[in-house]
Structure 1
Amino acid sequence: MATGFKYRRIADHLARGIQAGITGPGERLPSLREACRTYGASLMTALAAYRHLEAIGLVEALPRSGFRVRPRLPAPLEQAPTRRPSLHAFSSARAELTAELLAAMADPALVPLGSGWPSADHFPVAAFRRLTSRLLRGPAPGPWTRFSPPRGDPELRRLVARRYRARGMDVGPDDVLVTTGAMEALALALRVLVKPGDVVAVECPAFFGVLDAARSAGARVVELPAEPAGGPDPAALAAACRRHAVRAAVLAPTFANPAGSLMDEARKAAWREALGAEGVALIEDDVYGELAWDGRRHAPLCAPRGRDEPPAILVGSFSKTLLPGGRVGYAIAPSPWIDALADLKSITTLAAAPLAQALAAGLVGDGAYDRHLRRLRPRLQAEVGTMRALVARHFPPGTRVSDPRGGYFLWVELPAGGADGLALFHAAARHGIGVAPGCLFSLGGGLDRFVRLNAALAGDLEPAVRTLGRLAAAPAARASGA
């Protein structure tokens, strides 16, 4: 009983400090060894005190990093920003803004909160160097002096197929085409499946690259409202098909960019049924499929289909999880669709770079990729949690934020009366900070008060988030000139 009393006494003392603001939201508690010295307690007693604080919701454990006071949580997103499926056109102003954002992402002078990939310290650079050195020392010229087979390195295709078989897909190496990033795979898929003037359904919000690829294919876009947590409802497809001849749908069921939504298995089953009933082809964006923080390997929405059924093509990449500079992506589809994709690639980029494929195959094949993912996932979870706490602390009242379970983006809705996303984008750039304005993630409007933030960055991000919060609180006219 004495030990029980002591751990409660320690916990009560720490709780009073938290409630008084002495240890603030997001701040770390003393280490267990420090607590032992401070309170003259054993390690087990100190741990019991911290576990009690965790059980009553005051603190949370960090992966291999001790405990911290639970961050002050922002209000969650409530509903889809658009109400019904609607058909929208492209504009030259949007194309110019996309180019401006891409330039900002590449600007090393900006804190890259608007970028689309983690900072360099998130990747296994030491493993890159070891494998590159081994390739350089190899007896044969190998990837330096030859083209890749048009469909990609056979070993890499085998490894990609194996990973997707582990996630429930009936796929083999012949169903895999290696591409120069997922964007090429997406562009090829759209060009194979749709003709100029055809209608493509996309979720809203959607990665702006999907919208640009649809424009390049000559397609018209109908937007399906997506719920913040679970993505678009398949009933929206039926509603869109009653008004338009929808040829294909582009969906990101696993940690969609930008909202981080995750379809559950029931919704995926309903989508498969809806796609089949409406005769609509599927392009699945699975770029973030490996980044579930709990390590789960979610089954893709794609499933093998017969020749008489609408096609399904999955696109993915190692660019966001392993090798950003390698631009190694892939498309997965059964014949004859994979053959059509390969034929189209052969008259565009011909083949992906052999060296990048060799690096990817080597890191995946020897287990380095899986070891890297086991380290990366909890880090991303902690970083997103920290970013949510910073937004809650520094952004104006009424701000709402997504609550993802994987990936590294936050989708932030700014309150009415302050700066909108585009005004914040321009004002932030003048203060050395990059953000991604929400208006780029839709063609039809309704996202003007949103921005996307990247949490997977090195260094102390609080000064940048504090500045963003101050700019977001300013009236739109003043933020534009801030």
Structure 2
Amino acid sequence: MKRYETLAHTIADDIRNGNLAVGTRLPSLRQIIAQHGVSQSTVFRAYYLLEQWGLIRARERSGYYVAPGATPEAGPAPARRAKRAGATRKVDISSLVFSVLDAATQPGIVPLGSAFPSPQLFPLPRLAKSLAQATRLVSPWSTVVDLPPGNEALRQQIARRYLATGISQPIDEIVVTNGALEALNLCLMAVTRPGDVVAVEAPGFYAALQAIERLDLRAVEIPVDPRTGLDLDALANALDRHDIRACWFMTNFQNPTGVTLSTEKKRALVEMLAARDVPLIEDDVYGELHFGPDYPLPARTFDRHGLVMHCSSFSKTLAPGYRIGWAAAGRFAEKVQRLKLMTTLSASIPAQAGIANYLEHGGYDRHLRKLRGALHTQLDRMDDALRRWLPAGVEWVRPEGGYFLWLAFPDAIDAMELHRQAIARGISFAPGPLFSAAHGFERCVRVNFGHPWSRDIERAIRVLGELVAQPSVRKGA
């Protein structure tokens, strides 16, 4: 166990044992450093974990306090015992997501808060050519033939890409959808009913929380460490405590942290859920954007029972405007197919045909190599700028793929106030509360490095550093 984890568990034990009551101010930074012989960075990371666990909160520029919900049952158990999961909760996130995303669409905004890479990185002329070629061959009968599960040529191309990673994926289990988000939502609808409990990541993708809110489900949040990923001990505890009907996790280049679960943890995750017959909805939209030599195997690789519904799309890698995704839905494929037919009927028939044509003739792997190289270069530029312009104590972990960085600020930074002031200066980013059903991670932000480097982006990082140093972005200011 790392030093910051040990320190976090020590403080959690004090809260659990009543030595630190609800509302009690935690010892000062200097006191903690002197008492435990640790660095300032270790204390910040320990406090970050305690905030994740819901045990502490920053208050009005006066330090950290034991949170109101920090009962003996809250937070993690001691390291020698299994970690405890939090309570289930209703989700109310959509209005916050809408307001933040709406602000980011203002003209002239530097899009560090964008959820997509720059369109400049996609082969749009070649795609248009493929679409034109395919459209000439689309017949009126295609409106019938290409109903769910979708265009057969496209599903064959998708199955071939699975096979290239060692996964033998039956084509009849692949359902083409309007982007990955529809695939994920259909999978969730297939295995839940109102009132059911769904395990999600914290921090995690806000669209998962929106889906849970829309379907009147309840969420139980499983902590994600930016270095090691999903906390499997906490998940095991949640499965013991709650009647979890599904899990929605992102195992490769997770949004927002960028972390990838190790192969061993993916295997353990699948085995843990299979032992309890709990479906896993695997969101793998960033897996193809790896900086290393190989695509990191998805959890789907280890599925032997048809319980993993693997969802992805071409929106993040090839054609965001085409909105073509899919679900390899295992034993739930027929139900997902029926739900697709009952809701939006079909994904765009010309777009399906156009992407199938491109995958066969357009050089998709060559494009991916170029895209990965560009993203890797942009990460280097972003990392360098953050080191130059942000104050000491800000932490982030370089991902091995994708295009997101998760920044954790020290002290009592208010990410929402920071966001408000950044928008006023022409800069967007995604504030931490978007990524939690509890609206936590109040001192964290997600930034996008998926756009070619420019003076505007350099200026945006410099301004972000200036804003973080201002007292006005601290809680209670």
Report the TM-score range of the alignment, normalised by the length of the smaller protein: 0.7 to 0.9
- Once the two structures are superposed, residues 310-348 of structure 1 have per-residue CA deviations (whole angstroms, 9 ceiling, x without a partner) of 72211101001100000111000224x100001011110
Given the alignment, which residue of 393, 412, 416 partners 1:398? Answer: 393
Change (3 A) 1:132 1:277: closer
Which residue of 2 is the match for residue 470 of structure 1?
Answer: 466
> Match of 2:220, SS?
strand
Distance 1:452 1:477, change over 3 A: closer
AA in 1 matched with 2:446: R
The one-letter code of the counterpart of 2:204 is A
Aligned partners of 1:77, 1:283: CA distance in 2, in Å? 30
Aligned to 1:118: 117
* 2:87 matched residue in structure 1: 87
* Aligned with 2:251 (options 207, 231, 253): 253
Q: Is the 8 A contact 1:304 1:334 kept in 2?
A: no
Maintained 8 Å contact 1:143/1:355: no
Matched ranges for 1:24-103 at <5 A: 80=49, 82-83=52-53, 84=76, 85-90=85-90, 92=92, 94-103=93-102
Q: Where do residues 211-250 of structure 1 align in structure 2 (5 Å cutoff)?
A: 211-250=209-248
Aligned mates of 2:142, 2:169 — CA distance in 1: 31
Q: 1:128 to 1:105 in 2, by over 3 A?
A: farther
Relative to structure 1, the CA distance from residue 382 to residue 325 in structure 2 (aligned partners, 3 Å threshold; closer, same or farther) is same
Work out the CA distance in 1 between the residues paired with 2:45 and 2:187.
32
**Corresponding residue for residue 354 of structure 1:** 349
1:301-312 equivalent positions in 2, closer than 5 A: 301-303=299-301, 309=305, 311-312=307-308
- Alignment pair present for 1:456 and 2:426: no
How much has 1:150 moved relative to structure 2?
2.1
User: Match of 1:36?
Assistant: none
Q: Answer whether contact 1:280 1:310 (CA < 8 A) is retained.
A: no
Using the TM superposition, give the Cα deviation of residue 367 of structure 1 relative to its aligned residue in structure 2, in angstroms: 4.6
For 2:311, the equivalent position in structure 1 comes to 315
Is the 2:131–2:351 contact (alpha carbons within 8 Å) kept by the matching residues of 1? no
Letter in 2 for 1:82: Q
Distance 1:367 1:129 in 2: 11
Assess, with a 3 A threshold, how the Cα gap between structure 1 residues 227 and 479 changes in structure 2: closer, same or farther.
closer
CA distance in 2 between counterparts of 1:237 and 1:278 reads: 12
Judge conservation of contact 2:416–2:431 (CA < 8 Å) in 1.
yes
Asked if structure 2 preserves the Cα contact closer than 8 Å seen for 1:276 and 1:310, the reply is no
In the aligned structure 1, how far is the partner of 2:105 from the partner of 2:365? 29
Matched with 1:127 is: 126
Amino acid at match of 1:120: P
Q: Is the 8 A contact 1:77 1:402 kept in 2?
A: no
Q: Does 1:365 align with 2:345?
A: no
The one-letter amino acid paired with 1:256 is Q
Quick one: percent identity of the two aligned structures?
Answer: 38
Once residues 173 and 164 of structure 1 are traced to their aligned partners in structure 2, the CA distance between those partners, rounded to angstroms, is: 10
Whichever residue aligns with residue 89 of structure 2, its letter is A
Separation (CA, whole Å) in 1 of partners of 2:178 and 2:275: 33
* Counterpart in the other structure of 1:193: 191
Letter in 2 for 1:340: K
Q: 2: CA distance between counterparts of 1:144 and 1:480?
A: 63
Q: In the alignment, which residue of structure 1 is the partner of 2:19?
A: none
Q: Deviations over 1:414-464 (max 9, x none)?
A: 1214x4211111111111111101111011244000100001113331101
- Are the equivalent residues in 2 in contact too, given 1:168–1:300 (CA < 8 A)? no
TM-score when normalising by structure 1: 0.78
Checking the alignment, whether the CA contact within 8 Å between 2:290 and 2:372 is kept in structure 1 is yes
Aligned with 1:401: secondary structure?
Answer: coil
Match of 1:16 in 2: none
Change over 3 Å in CA distance of 1:126–1:400 after alignment to 2: same
Matched residue type, 2:462: R
| Unaligned residue ranges in structure 1 (runs of 5+) | 1-73
Question: Shift of residue 215 of structure 1?
Answer: 1.7
SS in 1 for 2:257: coil
Would the alpha carbon gap of residues 434 and 274 (structure 1) be closer, same or farther in structure 2, given more than 3 Å must change? same
Does 213-222 or 146-155 show the bigger shift?
Answer: 146-155
Distance in 1 between the 2:276 and 2:427 partners?
44
Q: Which has the larger radius of gyration?
A: 1
**1:465 partner letter:** I
TM-aligned CA distance change 1:100 to 1:329, over 3 Å = same
Query: 2:415 matched to 1:421?
Result: yes
Superposed CA offset, 1:355-392 (max 9, x none): 21122112211252111101011111111121122111
Partner Cα distance (1:477, 1:455) in 2: 23
How far apart, CA to CA, are the structure 2 residues paired with 1:480 and 1:352?
Answer: 48
Q: State the Cα deviation string for residues 80-135 of structure 1 (Å, max 9, x = none).
A: 5523421353455x322101122234334211100000111111122123223434
Is contact 1:295–1:374 with CA below 8 Å preserved after alignment? no
Contact 2:201 2:223 survives alignment (8 Å): yes
**Pair 479,131 (structure 1): closer, same or farther in 2 beyond 3 Å:** farther
**Take 1:363 and 1:424, find their aligned partners in 2: how far apart are those partners?**
42
Tell whether the 8 Å contact from 2:200 to 2:219 is kept in structure 1 after alignment.
yes
Q: Is the 8 A contact 1:427 1:479 kept in 2?
A: no
Distance 1:479 1:200, change over 3 A: closer
TM-score (norm 2): 0.79
Superposition deviation, residue 202 in structure 1: 1.1
Q: Is the 8 A contact 1:143 1:358 kept in 2?
A: no
Opposite residue 173 of structure 2, the aligned amino acid is D
Separation in structure 2 between the aligned mates of residue 377 and residue 371 of structure 1, nearest angstrom: 10
Aligned to 1:325: 321
